[in-house]
Structure 1
Amino acid sequence: MSATTVQELELCKDGYPQFQLGKSRFDMSTFTGRYRHFLDHVDPRTLFTRQATLDEAVQLLENFKNGELQPGTTNKQLWQAQKIKQAILHPDTGEKVFIPFRMSGFVPFGAPIITGVLNHNLSLMGTVFWQWMAQSHMAGVNYANRNASKPASTSQFLLGYVGAVTTACAIAVGLRFVVDKAKNFSPATRTLVQRLVPFPAVATAGVCNVVLMRLSELGKGIEVEDQNGSVVGTSKIAAKRALKETALTRAILPAPILIIPPIVMSIVEKTNFMRRRPGLSLPVQGVVVTLSFAFALPLAISLFPQFSKVELTALEEEIQLATSETHLYYNKGL
């Protein structure tokens, strides 16, 4: 059978956009496009992919790259193959990412942990344990999905991990102590405030983690690219902006999964159904957390584009002299 060229593939009418290797099939310049992209990215169904299916997906993409596609290959098949590969294999090392640390495993493995974090009846040790679990899981996700194109500093990773765990536990324990000592709260208000305590703890820990792990970028700088993706230079100014933007993102990311469930549960538990069945509180909270994770988390991630735009005149003089572009772009990180 003769091979199919990329140009011939444009004739496929399967309702999918023209396949582009390494690109998203959604418009990443719009919020809706980014939301659909990340919603697709965290699809837990890819966790059940068989090795044979993964091998077929990798081979299909290799055939596309070499212009050796078989007649009848559709854009849908190519996009699905890329989704499977990106969900399972690390883009730099080509090795399988440990299942609990895959982005597609973030919801099923993270939801039970967050359910534990949001339990307002925890003891002191319980609070510390679940905050440690939450930060450990996040650290694992961060490390497993890191940029591995250059050697990573183990000490920098450990510094970020220890800083995040310490910060989360200290804030969670401190705030719970303050709430417990407060005398002006009604029982319902006290319960709601106790449930909201994990948000500032996790949000602050996330900021602490990213700042400690990426401090070296401030001294070395990060790459800035033109609109065609060509690297123009390395900028410390862009690194400073990227760190600020990523820190802000990390502060916002936990909001949907740590604020929505407590508010929902404070309403649900007042219903006659739940009052008669208090034992269902934890399972119902688990469902609410999972739904928030599955739909609200991609929403929070989609607020900011992955690549930020910066005016050339705001960057270092040597970079301004290296290009005639008016704007450059940098990867702010997630």
Structure 2
Amino acid sequence: MSTEYPPFRLGKPRYDQSTFEGRLRHFFDVIDPRTLFTSKEKLQSCIKLLDDFDKGRIPPTVSDRELWEAQKIKQAIIHPDTGEKIFMPFRMSGFVPFGSPMVVGLLLPNQTIATTVFWQWINQSHNACVNYSNRNATSPTPMSRFLLGYTGAVTTAVSIAVSLNVLIKKANKFSPATKLLIQKFVPFPAVACASTCNLLLMRNSELTTGIEIEDHNGNVIGKSQVAARKALTETAITRMLMPAPILVIPPLIMSMLEKTVLLKRYPRVHLPIHATIVTACFGLALPVAIAIFPQYSKISTSSLEPEIQKLTSEKTLIYNKGL
């Protein structure tokens, strides 16, 4: 894909979202941590530049690159529905730098029940705050639904992690070294199941009310339960796959590095090396997982409800599956 800046389109992605590469590049922009250091003055200038563009008042000297960069910064900091700044730790651009210490904590060796509960709780709390801060706010979300999803995610994560750790410790057929190795992979099923549980509890109303589907001109045709099931299925798959590279690859790499002379001679470098590997995996795995499915997906009109089919002659319609 060309690295040149295409003609600027306000509110539209810079990269082609019909391809995996385009979606991957887009989400690398979304999680770019450099936007966390944007000054108040820079943010205001970006907002003004985009406002001037919308009103047709920008000078011809302003380049497409400046416009795309301004939009990237605004979208990283300002909530699109509320127009308010998102608290830095809960921005998508802050998910990796602020979430990595929690993942490192989840993967620390020799976990006790207390530390397992603590790290699963704090990780799910951060995830819940990120989800809420980046929610679709065009219609109000009851706080009770947020609390239900949060409680379900924490309960699921803690229950699975503690249960697996207890079972592993009681298993007599494993050597102590094998038990320690297996324990390193416990966070993955706990986090994957908790993320899926959170999604289903937060968005289960979509299965009964349906989600909006649009034609290719952006006109809302109606609400479809069929599209809602497809959207939730795709999002659930993403939520289950997302933690895999983050919580599986680092333990594998560390298991190999722990046998090297470096870590045997200098055990104090274990934590910084571990943290570096986790952060690298986090930064790469997150956009890859989110980019698997398009956020705005097509669905065959013939597979939708009969009442929807009567409202349009288009063969395919579009729905927003969410993130």
Q: So what's the TM-score if we normalise by structure 1?
A: 0.94
1:139 aligns with 2:151: no
CA distances 1:204-241 after superposition (whole Å, capped 9, x unpaired): 00110000011111121100111222211111111122
User: What is residue 76 of structure 1 aligned with on the other side?
Assistant: 65
The answer as to whether partners of 2:149 and 2:201 remain within 8 angstroms in 1 is: yes
Pairing partner for 1:247 from 232, 236, 247: 236
Question: What is the letter of the counterpart of residue 220 of structure 1?
Answer: T
1:230 aligns with 2:219: yes
C-alpha displacement of 1:302? 1.1
The answer as to whether partners of 2:121 and 2:158 remain within 8 angstroms in 1 is: yes
Q: How does 1:309-328 map to 2 (within 5 A)?
A: 309-328=298-317
1:211 aligns with 2:217: no
CA distances 1:257-290 after superposition (whole Å, capped 9, x unpaired): 1111111111111111111112221221111111
User: What is residue 281 of structure 2 aligned with on the other side?
Assistant: 292
User: What is residue 103 of structure 1 aligned with on the other side?
Assistant: 92
Matched residue SS, 2:184: helix
User: What is residue 189 of structure 1 aligned with on the other side?
Assistant: 178
C-alpha displacement of 1:73? 0.5
Question: What is the letter of the counterpart of residue 158 of structure 2?
Answer: C
**d(CA) in 1 for partners of 2:62 and 2:227?**
42
The answer as to whether partners of 1:256 and 1:300 remain within 8 angstroms in 2 is: no
The answer as to whether partners of 2:206 and 2:225 remain within 8 angstroms in 1 is: yes
User: What is residue 28 of structure 1 aligned with on the other side?
Assistant: 17
C-alpha displacement of 1:168? 0.1
Q: How does 1:107-126 map to 2 (within 5 A)?
A: 107-126=96-115
**d(CA) in 2 for partners of 1:324 and 1:279?**
66
Q: So what's the TM-score if we normalise by structure 2?
A: 0.97
C-alpha displacement of 1:65? 0.6
Question: What is the letter of the counterpart of residue 248 of structure 1?
Answer: I
User: What is residue 273 of structure 1 aligned with on the other side?
Assistant: 262
Pairing partner for 1:198 from 187, 190, 195: 187
Matched residue SS, 2:205: helix
**d(CA) in 1 for partners of 2:261 and 2:5?**
48
- Percent of paired sites with the same residue: 58
1:221 aligns with 2:214: no
Is 98-107 or 179-188 further displaced after alignment? 179-188
The answer as to whether partners of 1:225 and 1:233 remain within 8 angstroms in 2 is: yes
C-alpha displacement of 1:193? 1.2
**d(CA) in 2 for partners of 1:120 and 1:163?**
26
User: What is residue 301 of structure 1 aligned with on the other side?
Assistant: 290
CA distances 1:276-320 after superposition (whole Å, capped 9, x unpaired): 112221221111111111112111111111122211111111110
**d(CA) in 2 for partners of 1:184 and 1:279?**
32
The answer as to whether partners of 2:242 and 2:285 remain within 8 angstroms in 1 is: no
Question: What is the letter of the counterpart of residue 61 of structure 2?
Answer: G
Structure 2's unaligned 5+ residue stretches are none
Matched residue SS, 2:299: strand
Structure 1's unaligned 5+ residue stretches are 1-13
Alignment CA distance shift 1:242-1:15 (3 Å):
closer
Question: What is the letter of the counterpart of residue 254 of structure 1?
Answer: P
Q: How does 1:10-29 map to 2 (within 5 A)?
A: 15-29=4-18
**d(CA) in 2 for partners of 1:173 and 1:329?**
42
Question: What is the letter of the counterpart of residue 90 of structure 2?
Answer: F
Matched residue SS, 1:196: coil
**d(CA) in 2 for partners of 1:89 and 1:123?**
40
C-alpha displacement of 1:184? 2.6
C-alpha displacement of 1:15? 3.1
C-alpha displacement of 1:71? 2.2
The answer as to whether partners of 1:246 and 1:333 remain within 8 angstroms in 2 is: yes
**d(CA) in 1 for partners of 2:4 and 2:203?**
41
User: What is residue 175 of structure 1 aligned with on the other side?
Assistant: 164
Matched residue SS, 1:224: strand
Matched residue SS, 1:240: helix
